[in-house]
């Protein structure tokens, strides 16, 4: 039942029967979903459910073995370079350069995405003010505390104004106050029209998303707004929803 994908400017991510197979193992098994422009889309699932693999395919880091995907209007199987130009990505592992200063990291990544020197300079000033980072501007990134680093990494990942940003467990190991500030940054980004695709293990964060999908054993088992999901599963919190779904998982850590 192959459907043709219609490019729709309001749909920033379209996945259709997306599959990734490693030998006999289906890490991602026929998943289909769509993400609207400006949406915060939560991508939940237990460890090993296939979230990271799915995300890597959407970012053009991994080629799907089946199905189709469009990100920012480009085919993730064939137009990976165009996909990459239009997305931002922040991985689980902190991946700015520790031995470069704050402004140097910003300059590097701005430059990589084709921004001009003048534009980089202006936006850097703006960002430093917004984050209240002026005094850290000339510090080596490696010397900053983790919370700082995560906020910076997020800001760098959306510095070039991508259509969509992928966040892979961005708040792991971060204190509640910083997590709160982090989510404020996310909301701020969506208000500028950036779509946010985020994986997380914190169920309170799932509540902040517009819509949430829960992956179990490579398949999407549920997809709706947190409110509707709670109603559907007769639960008080997203945590209960997640527990009910994840209990069905056959493959674990």
Residue ranges binding other proteins (CB under 8 A): 59-63, 80-81, 84-85, 87, 89, 91, 93-100, 104, 107-114
Residue closer to other proteins (CB basis): 81 or 132: 81
Min separation Cβ 206 and other proteins, Å: 24
Min separation Cβ 146 and other proteins, Å: 15
Distance, CA of 87 to CA of 83 (rounded, Å): 7
Min separation Cβ 115 and other proteins, Å: 10
Min separation Cβ 163 and other proteins, Å: 14
Residue closer to other proteins (CB basis): 148 or 249: 148
Distance, CA of 165 to CA of 186 (rounded, Å): 10
Residues listed for the chain:
253
Contact at 8 Å (CB) between 87 and 71? yes
Residue closer to other proteins (CB basis): 105 or 208: 105
Residue closer to other proteins (CB basis): 45 or 60: 60
Helix (H) or strand (E) holding 67: strand 66-71
Phi, psi values for residue 215, rounded to 5°: -100, 135
Min separation Cβ 107 and other proteins, Å: 7
Instruction: Concatenate the DSSP letters of all residues of 32-53 into one string.
Output: EEEEETT-EEEEEE-TTSSHHH
Residue closer to other proteins (CB basis): 97 or 187: 97
Residue 30 CA, chain-centre distance (Å), reads 20
């Amino acid at each position: 039942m192959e459907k043709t994908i219609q490019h729709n400017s309001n749909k920033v991510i379209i996945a259709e029967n997306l599959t990734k197979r490693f030998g006999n193992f289906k890490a991602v098994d026929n998943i289909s979903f769509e993400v609207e422009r400006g949406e915060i889309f939560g991508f939940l699932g237990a460890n090993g459910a296939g979230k990271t693999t799915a995300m890597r395919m959407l970012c053009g880091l991994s080629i799907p073995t089946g199905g189709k995907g469009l990100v920012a209007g480009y085919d993730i199987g064939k137009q990976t370079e165009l996909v990459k130009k239009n997305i931002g990505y922040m991985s689980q592992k902190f991946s700015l350069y520790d031995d470069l200063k704050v402004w140097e990291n910003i300059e590097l990544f701005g430059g990589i995405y084709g921004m001009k020197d003048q534009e980089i300079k202006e936006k850097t000033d703006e960002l430093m003010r917004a984050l209240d980072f002026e005094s850290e501007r000339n510090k080596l990134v490696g010397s900053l505390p983790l919370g700082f680093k995560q906020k910076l990494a997020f800001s760098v990942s959306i510095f070039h104004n991508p259509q969509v940003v992928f966040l892979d467990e961005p708040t792991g190991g971060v204190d509640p106050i910083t997590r709160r500030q982090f989510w404020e940054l996310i909301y701020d980004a969506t208000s500028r029209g950036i779509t946010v695709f985020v994986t997380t293990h914190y169920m309170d964060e799932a509540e902040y998303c517009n819509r949430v999908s829960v992956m179990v054993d490579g398949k999407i088992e549920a997809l709706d707004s947190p409110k509707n999901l709670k109603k559907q599963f007769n639960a008080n919190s997203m945590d209960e929803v997640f527990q009910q779904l994840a209990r069905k998982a056959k493959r674990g850590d």
